Every structure is written in structure tokens, then in C-alpha cells.
A and B are shown apart, each in its own frame.
Chain A
């Protein structure tokens, strides 16, 4: 009996000690997290080059009339200098390498229009990418560093997992996997040239590659509709409408198309949403000026510098021709 009482007494003492020390430990964690997170936040928004800066600039200091948004195909295909020269309007390419989905341009448009409304926004989207893709959700975390300053980022981040709200209690978590970028782009900013975000690719597909079957081989049946991505597209269209911005969605050229029907059910649904909302959708995926012209491509999905030059001219001409941007 005495032994049992001793056990209970001991246990109670241990619970008390444990609870007390756990509280202290949590306080230490909270302080360190806040301290490190704040330093990283400061350094993150201090970057003057690199991929993160492209987003920061597009949503903060950008004052261009025409903004190009989207993924790597946006970044490598649209030369803002050519577009500005032909249209007479200032333009900026804020596309970003990395396969980010529709959520990134939507977030950028939502934030940039707080201070400045561009006249035209071009969003580079391959409509099939609005289908369900696990990677789409994984990559939404690119918006983590912005959530404190721009809380609307949470609308996208909450789609990633059910525990995002808990994770966001940590300040340091918002800079997860970014320490390397923060160090490099702060310390060596002069080593990374930044030319209005447009990055031309110098290499070309060679003839051997072009003869080989390197077409865009897709099984369209595997593309499943994604309601979240459709809603984000609708949101993008809605913001453009209420802010009176001309929104143009472009699917730029690809090297070769193996399938006759370009679009999956999900892709067609995305196009339907654009049509229903009278959004210009310019599809160059079957454009004969580019199809199978290996010397205009760096790989099957990306134009090289020559291809980008040709494509930028075509886009600029069309913007003028359709009266979207009238040459002054």
C-alpha cells in the first residue's frame, strides 16, 4: 500500500515537473522561432535578385502597363522589350520558373492591384495544367513567405493540407527551404543579372533530337478536373473584371503535338470558363510558325531566344491589331 502511494506521489511530482519544463521549452521555441523568423523575413524582402525577387517586385514596385505572368514558359517566351517597343507601353515579365500553377498569377494579380492596376495582364497557361496534379498543391508553398504581409495568400495555402493553420503558427516555417536562396541572393546579388525577369534560352534543339520522337506525349485521360484550380481561375477572371484590367490568357507554342485533340476534359472545362467570361484565350499550341521548327525551341516545351523573339513580335502585333494596346 505504501509502495503504491509512493508511486502515485512520484508520478504526480513527475507530471508537475514535466508540465513546467514543457511550458518553458515551448517558450524557448516560441522566442527562437519569432527571432529567427523575423530576421529571415527582413532578409527575404531585402533580396534584389533571384526568383523570389521576381514575385516581390511584381507585387510591390511594379508600375508597368502590361504584366506577363505564369510559369517557365512565360519567363522564357515573352521579351518585354520587344512588346514595349511595338506597343509603346511599358511591360514587365513576372513569370517564374518552377512549374507553379494558376494560383501564383492569381495571387500576384490580387496583390499588385492593391496599389497599381496594369492595363493588360497576359497569363501564360496550358489549360490542361488546371487538371488535378499533386505537385500543384505541393508547390503552393511558394506563397508561404508572403502570408504575413499579404494574408490573402492563405486562401491558396489552406488548400495544401489540413494542418496548414497550425504550421503557420511558426514564423520560421514560412521560410522553410529558403535559407540558401536568402543567403545567396542577398550576398551575391551582383552575380545574378536580372533583366526584367525575361530569361532567353540560348541553346537549340538539334536536328537529331528533332527527328527523334520528342513530341509532347500526353495521356489526356489521366487529366482529371480540379475544382480548386477552376475556382482560382474564376477568381483571377473576377479580379481582372472588377479592376477593369484586360486579361489575355495565352497557351504559347510547343515543339510537336502527338495528339490531335489538344485538351483533356479538364483543359476544355478551363477554356469553357474563359469563353463564358469573354476572356481572350490565344492558343498557339498548334501554330504552324512554330510546330516542328527545332531551331526555335530549346526543348519540347520551351522556345529558345530566337523562338521567343518571333513569338514576342507575334504577341505584340496581335495586342495592337486587336486594339488591346494601341500604339501611340
Chain B
């Protein structure tokens, strides 16, 4: 069930109404059933995979708390192997096998290992990581083991964030299932507004931009110069609006019922450096890697070469998390290299920003934002391209400016730019003018302005939205 479908509208209204209509003690069970239905609307049988990991992690959590010493580590390892094992089979098996085949092909040998004909369970990487965060936190002693199997299952399966995050931590989410949430007008309306804004970003901006991006990226050798640059910039905003749009619908729908999910995006394209970008982009994943992998490797409390290796390794794994393809690995590696170069540059050229006049500082900020955006766009080429070969073709062709520009009929470019200008205007105001940090596009107490703004947002969805465009990009991960 997609967030941008009518099916979801009915589902959401029914589930939310039932949630507030039911006595508190039955609410979690209703939410669990609703979440099962939500997940099973994709490929029903795959719920068994989820059930398998839920059972293992549930008991792992209990035993982690019960036992001391080496036994605890054993339970943690069993839980991690179960989770990573499922990821390995469903997500990476064919990729690894493919590479073995290529390698054996060079040696003129046939690969005897068979390929698996399987479809990747939707959102597998997300709920696996969420489940892993539970056992790790219990192991670290930061979270008590959940005794109620149903509540633990709901922690993994909570429908708003089940298939594409935000990847929650048990400390933030588990206790909320025990709390009583009354119907609060302000909270409900804020949640609904956020859902509408997310839907706008998804079907008015992301899906509209995707039409031009797909046309260009599916024939990379036929396009050059400005066409490829524009398609790449469009993709940068497409993926941002697609994913942050999803996150906002998720956070909004949870907020309506009184649940607080973590922020996943903070206007990432206003970042003044790649490291700042990663503090603003897919925050729930960045912090997951930081908390559970980077720090476990020693973080920055190691020798400088080791520190650089840790950074690079984390980004490499992050690339692999996104998909079983060399394009994602290169994308991760490139981002890791950006950070290492930035660290080296900062060590070599220490400059004091305080001494600069305000106007110079603003100028530097603008330049830094643009450079960061360009670097990120370059990495998106690998993320979006169908193969590593295509990505290199695109980068090579990007600098050939003597070829004709592909407009695709101008219509999509027109809609794309209108959507982008609106988004940038809203985010610019959020970044520099709003006094309170908010995810909402309008920060006004005027009822009339609110009514008109959100009504026009809905009308824009009706008029310019791309209906039936399909799923969110991050569902595939």
C-alpha cells in the first residue's frame, strides 16, 4: 500500500478513527493488526520473514537482559546474524553471485552457484536496521528488553515507518506504545498538514521531475551537456522530495495518533559542507551508522589514518545498504572520499571565520552551499545511473556542450521549475526566517492564510500531481 494511493487514504482514516475510538488497552493490538495488513498489501508471504526476525530479536532481547558475560554476546551475535543473514540472502546473494560469475568468466570458468529468483521484500533494510538497533541497545544496557511480544512486534512493524523509515531507536519509540494519546486538535492538524506537504513533495515535485530524469537517464549516451546537468539537478531534488516526502507523510500520520518519530531531513541542500549534508540527510540512517558502526570502529578517537578509514568504511557500507549494485558502492565511496578530503583540507587550511566581515561570510556561505550541492549532485549520478558504465558515460558527456539540448517538450521542465522554485522558497524561509524549527511549509497563526495555503496545496496536487506514478524510490532498499 503506497502512501500516495487512495487505498492508503481509506486505510489511514479507518485506522486513525479506530485508534481514538478504542480504549487505550486495545490500541496497540489494533495498530499491530493494521500494520500487518499494511505490510501484507505488498507481498503477503513476506510477513513470515518479518515474523522470523521479530521472534529471534524478541527472545534475544530477553536473554540479553537475563544473562551476563559471554552468553550475552552470543545472543547478540545470533540476533545480528539472523538479521544480516536475511539481508544477505534477499539483497546481496545475487549481487555476490553475479560478481563471482564475472570473475570466473575472466578465468573462462562457469559459475556453478545458482541464482535465486526472488523479489526483495519491501523496506527490508529499514526494518532490519530498526530491529538491530533494539538488540544492540538492550546489549548496551540503554534499553530494557520488551516483555510484551505484541508491543515488540509493533515496534518493528509500526506502519508509518515500516517500509522506509525513519529508522527509529527503541528508546524513542517503544515507550510511546504504552502512553495514552488523547485526540489533540493542534497535534492532529499539524500532523495532517505535514502529510499534505509530504504528499505535495512526492507527487507534484518528485514524480514530475522523474519524467524528465527517466527520459534522460534511460538513454545516457544520447544526451550531453546541459541536458545531463539539468537531469542530474532534477534528480537531486527528485530523490530529496521523494524520500523526505515519504518521511513527512510517515511522521505526520504517526503524529496524528500522538506518536513522535525522529526527524529525517533538515533542508539538506542548504548544507555548507558534505559533512553538514550528512547531518541533514536521512538523519535516522546517518545516526544509525554513527551510533552502531562508526563508534564501534573507534570513531575519531583513533589514529588519523584509522579515523579516515573508519569514515570511508562507514560510507562504503552505507552505499551497500542502499543497494546491491556497484553504483551504490561507488556512491558511498565518493561521499566517504569527500569527507576525508574535507578533513585534510581543514587540517591544512585553518581559517578563522570570526574575523571575516558579515558580507564576506555570507558570500562564503553561498559559495560553500553551491560547491556542496555540486559535489552531492556528482555523487547522485552514480546513485541514479543504471550501471557504473552509464554513470561514467554521463559524467563524460556532461562536459560536452556543443550538442543540442533535450527539452522533452518543455512541459515537464516548466512544471519541474515551478515546483522547485516553490520548494526552494519554502525551505529558504524555513532555514533563515522561521523563528521556530518546523517541518511545515507555512508558519502563520492566521486561520485564513492557513486555510488558503493548504487548500491551494491540495488543489496543486490535483492539478499538477502525477497520479499513478508508482512507488517511492527508497522502498526498493
**Interface of A with B (CB < 8 Å)?**
7, 10-11, 13-15, 17-18, 21, 24-25, 28-29, 32-33, 36, 138, 160-163, 166-167, 170, 172-173, 175-177, 179-181
Contact of B183 among A14, A161, A162, A179 (CB under 8 A): A14
B423 vs chain A, min Cβ distance (A) = 18
B463 and A172 form a contact (CB under 8 A): yes
A25 and B183 form a contact (CB under 8 A): no
9 interchain residue pairs of minimum CB distance: A14-B185, A163-B6, A180-B411, A11-B183, A28-B455, A173-B462, A11-B182, A172-B462, A17-B185
Contact of A18 among B185, B410, B451, B468 (CB under 8 A): B185
Could you tell me the dominant secondary structure of chain B's interface residues?
Answer: helix
A25 and B451 form a contact (CB under 8 A): yes
Contact of A10 among B182, B414, B462, B463 (CB under 8 A): B182
Contact of B6 among A11, A28, A166, A173 (CB under 8 A): A166
Task: State A306–B6 Cα separation when bound (angstroms).
Answer: 49
Residues of A contacting B215 in the complex (Cβ-Cβ under 8 angstroms): none
The answer to whether B458 has its CB under 8 Å from any CB of chain A is: yes
A180 and B415 form a contact (CB under 8 A): yes
Task: State A13–B464 Cα separation when bound (angstroms).
Answer: 37
The answer to whether B82 has its CB under 8 Å from any CB of chain A is: no
Task: State A166–B9 Cα separation when bound (angstroms).
Answer: 12
B422 vs chain A, min Cβ distance (A) = 14
Task: State A161–B7 Cα separation when bound (angstroms).
Answer: 11
With both beta carbons as reference points, the residue of chain A lying nearest to B5 in the complex is identified as A163
Contact of B468 among A10, A15, A138, A170 (CB under 8 A): A138
Residues of B contacting A18 in the complex (Cβ-Cβ under 8 angstroms): 183, 185, 188-189
Interface residues of B in 447-477 (CB under 8 A from A): 451-452, 454-456, 458-459, 462-468
Q: Which of B6, B458, B463 has the most CB of A within 10 A?
A: B463
A25 and B182 form a contact (CB under 8 A): no
With both beta carbons as reference points, the residue of chain B lying nearest to A31 in the complex is identified as B455
The answer to whether B184 has its CB under 8 Å from any CB of chain A is: yes
Known: A25-B455, A180-B414. 10 other contacts (CB 8 A): A7-B182, A11-B182, A18-B183, A25-B451, A28-B455, A138-B468, A161-B468, A172-B463, A176-B462, A180-B415
Residues of A contacting B189 in the complex (Cβ-Cβ under 8 angstroms): 18, 21
A181 and B454 form a contact (CB under 8 A): no
A29 and B466 form a contact (CB under 8 A): no
B452 and A28 form a contact (CB under 8 A): yes
A-B contact pairs, 12 of them (CB 8 A): A10-B184, A13-B185, A14-B183, A14-B184, A18-B183, A18-B185, A28-B455, A32-B456, A167-B467, A176-B467, A177-B464, A180-B415
Task: State A10–B451 Cα separation when bound (angstroms).
Answer: 24
Task: State A142–B414 Cα separation when bound (angstroms).
Answer: 20
Task: State A177–B203 Cα separation when bound (angstroms).
Answer: 12
Task: State A15–B188 Cα separation when bound (angstroms).
Answer: 10
Total A-B contacts with CB atoms under 8 angstroms apart: 69
**Interface of B with A (CB < 8 Å)?**
6, 20, 180, 182-185, 188-189, 410-411, 414-415, 451-452, 454-456, 458-459, 462-468
B276 vs chain A, min Cβ distance (A) = 36
Task: State A11–B463 Cα separation when bound (angstroms).
Answer: 36
Task: State A167–B203 Cα separation when bound (angstroms).
Answer: 15
B182 and A181 form a contact (CB under 8 A): no
Contact of A177 among B20, B182, B456, B466 (CB under 8 A): B466
Residues of B contacting A10 in the complex (Cβ-Cβ under 8 angstroms): 182, 184
Task: State A248–B203 Cα separation when bound (angstroms).
Answer: 41
With both beta carbons as reference points, the residue of chain A lying nearest to B410 in the complex is identified as A180
B194 vs chain A, min Cβ distance (A) = 15
Residues of B contacting A160 in the complex (Cβ-Cβ under 8 angstroms): 468
Residues of B contacting A15 in the complex (Cβ-Cβ under 8 angstroms): 183
Residues of A contacting B188 in the complex (Cβ-Cβ under 8 angstroms): 14, 18
Task: State A24–B451 Cα separation when bound (angstroms).
Answer: 9
B451 and A28 form a contact (CB under 8 A): yes
Q: Which of B414, B452, B455 has the most CB of A within 10 A?
A: B455
A156 vs chain B, min Cβ distance (A) = 15
Contact of B458 among A29, A179, A181 (CB under 8 A): A29
- Whether A32 contacts B463 in the complex (CB less than 8 A), given A10-B182, A14-B185, A180-B414, comes out as no
Task: State A181–B415 Cα separation when bound (angstroms).
Answer: 11
Q: Which of B183, B184, B466 has the most CB of A within 10 A?
A: B183
A29 and B464 form a contact (CB under 8 A): no
Residues of A contacting B20 in the complex (Cβ-Cβ under 8 angstroms): 11
Contact of A33 among B184, B415, B451, B462 (CB under 8 A): B462
Task: State A36–B461 Cα separation when bound (angstroms).
Answer: 13
Task: State A170–B463 Cα separation when bound (angstroms).
Answer: 10
B463 and A179 form a contact (CB under 8 A): yes
A176 and B464 form a contact (CB under 8 A): yes
Residues of B contacting A167 in the complex (Cβ-Cβ under 8 angstroms): 467
Task: State A180–B415 Cα separation when bound (angstroms).
Answer: 8
A35 vs chain B, min Cβ distance (A) = 10
A69 vs chain B, min Cβ distance (A) = 23
Task: State A73–B185 Cα separation when bound (angstroms).
Answer: 57
B414 and A36 form a contact (CB under 8 A): no
Residues of A contacting B411 in the complex (Cβ-Cβ under 8 angstroms): 177, 180-181
B209 vs chain A, min Cβ distance (A) = 14
Residues of B contacting A175 in the complex (Cβ-Cβ under 8 angstroms): 463
With both beta carbons as reference points, the residue of chain B lying nearest to A7 in the complex is identified as B182
Residues of A contacting B185 in the complex (Cβ-Cβ under 8 angstroms): 13-14, 17-18
Residues of B contacting A11 in the complex (Cβ-Cβ under 8 angstroms): 20, 182-183
Task: State A223–B414 Cα separation when bound (angstroms).
Answer: 36
Residues of B contacting A32 in the complex (Cβ-Cβ under 8 angstroms): 455-456, 459
Task: State A172–B455 Cα separation when bound (angstroms).
Answer: 13
Residues of A contacting B180 in the complex (Cβ-Cβ under 8 angstroms): 7
Contact of A36 among B182, B454, B459 (CB under 8 A): B459
Task: State A138–B211 Cα separation when bound (angstroms).
Answer: 14
A146 vs chain B, min Cβ distance (A) = 17
B463 and A176 form a contact (CB under 8 A): yes
A13 vs chain B, min Cβ distance (A) = 8
Residues of B contacting A180 in the complex (Cβ-Cβ under 8 angstroms): 410-411, 414-415
Residues of B contacting A14 in the complex (Cβ-Cβ under 8 angstroms): 182-185, 188
Residues of B contacting A13 in the complex (Cβ-Cβ under 8 angstroms): 185
Task: State A180–B466 Cα separation when bound (angstroms).
Answer: 14
Residues of A contacting B467 in the complex (Cβ-Cβ under 8 angstroms): 167, 176
Task: State A14–B190 Cα separation when bound (angstroms).
Answer: 13
Task: State A180–B208 Cα separation when bound (angstroms).
Answer: 13
Residues of A contacting B465 in the complex (Cβ-Cβ under 8 angstroms): 176
Task: State A7–B258 Cα separation when bound (angstroms).
Answer: 14
Task: State A119–B468 Cα separation when bound (angstroms).
Answer: 39
Task: State A313–B91 Cα separation when bound (angstroms).
Answer: 58
Task: State A83–B459 Cα separation when bound (angstroms).
Answer: 46
Residues of B contacting A170 in the complex (Cβ-Cβ under 8 angstroms): 462
A94 vs chain B, min Cβ distance (A) = 21
Residues of B contacting A28 in the complex (Cβ-Cβ under 8 angstroms): 451-452, 455
Task: State A33–B452 Cα separation when bound (angstroms).
Answer: 12
B415 and A29 form a contact (CB under 8 A): no
